[in-house]
Amino acid sequence: MSERAAAAVPGSGAAARGQPLMSIGEVLAQLRVEFPDTTISKLRFLESEGLVEPQRTPAGYRKYSWDDVARLRFVLTAQRDQYLPLRVIREQLAEADREGLPGLERPRPSLVAVGPDGEVPGREPVAESSDGRLGRVELLSRSGINEALLAELERMGLVVSHPPGWYDADALLIAQAVAGLAGYGLEPRHLRGYRTAADREVGLFAQLVAPLARQSDPAARARAAEVARELVGLSQQLHAALVRVGLRGTLGR
């Protein structure tokens, strides 16, 4: 690669030299401004997949440049907006390393105070589906549904509480979606098919993810979580496209 091209591609060695370096916690705080569900485990996993290569101190601590942050932002955007698998994103980054690729511009720093683990003081912690907890009152308040509707959703198995009575972030997303659909006149009884279809997909995808999830290697478990994320994204794409196709006749298109 020419010196000019290397300077133009974030993440290349020539571009990274001489840049201010950040800890993984500082990088996490930068990315969470736009990608609030990002975690330190996620950043480590993307590194293990070869999508970013932070420098290491003699003591083994990761140090990221702004070019590294640009690469991470490119990866996270491609996952969120296009549901691209890591294999495709890796190919695009390789192309960028060879020729330059739009979308890898170095980001402007966001001035965010961070704690030792990347938390942002004064900002509500990000609720993740695995451990973000909401009480019943907070779930009702944030979703806009009432007590009777929540009870009906629980009876149907669409929303599930965890002992001793807390809800995770996915329960909130479900309740918010139900509230939006209710605004168009759809009732819980209309949504039973969603539960049935989701259960079928869970059974299908579990066969693909379980072999990785059962391994004791943390990298394998991280890969299992990434595979599950990609499968969910592709399923959402497929479902949305099928619904659009099915509605074209109604819409006269």
pLDDT at residue 13 is higher than 60: no
- As a whole number, mean pLDDT of residues 97-119 equals 53
Q: What was the pLDDT predicted at 71?
A: 92
Q: What was the pLDDT predicted at 4?
A: 33
| Cβ atoms 70, 96 nearer than 8 A | no
pLDDT at residue 99 is higher than 90: no
Domain boundary assignment for the chain: 3-99, 127-186, 197-253
pLDDT at residue 186 is higher than 70: yes
- As a whole number, mean pLDDT of residues 137-162 equals 92
Query: CA 244 to CA 249: how far, in whole Å?
Result: 10
Query: CA 249 to CA 84: how far, in whole Å?
Result: 30
Query: CA 116 to CA 114: how far, in whole Å?
Result: 7
The class level of CATH for 127-186 reads mainly alpha
127-186 matches 3-99 in CATH topology: yes
| Cβ atoms 136, 165 nearer than 8 A | yes
Q: Considering the entire predicted model, what is its pTM?
A: 0.56
- As a whole number, mean pLDDT of residues 210-227 equals 82
Q: What was the pLDDT predicted at 39?
A: 84
Query: Would you identify the CATH topology of the domain 3-99?
Result: Multidrug-efflux Transporter Regulator; Chain: A; Domain 2 (1.10.1660)
pLDDT at residue 3 is higher than 60: no
- For 113-123, the pLDDT digits (tens) are 444 444 444 44
- Can you read off the two tokens belonging to residue 149? 């509707």
User: What is the 3-state secondary structure of 139-170?
Assistant: HHHHHCCCHHHHHHHHHHCCCCCECCCEECHH
pLDDT at residue 93 is higher than 70: yes
Q: What was the pLDDT predicted at 110?
A: 46
Query: CA 140 to CA 53: how far, in whole Å?
Result: 43
- For 37-60, the pLDDT digits (tens) are 888 888 988 998 889 999 998 888
- DSSP string across 68-90: HHHHHHHHHHHHHHH---HHHHH
Other CB atoms within a 10 A radius of the CB of residue 223 amount to: 19
pLDDT at residue 11 is higher than 60: no
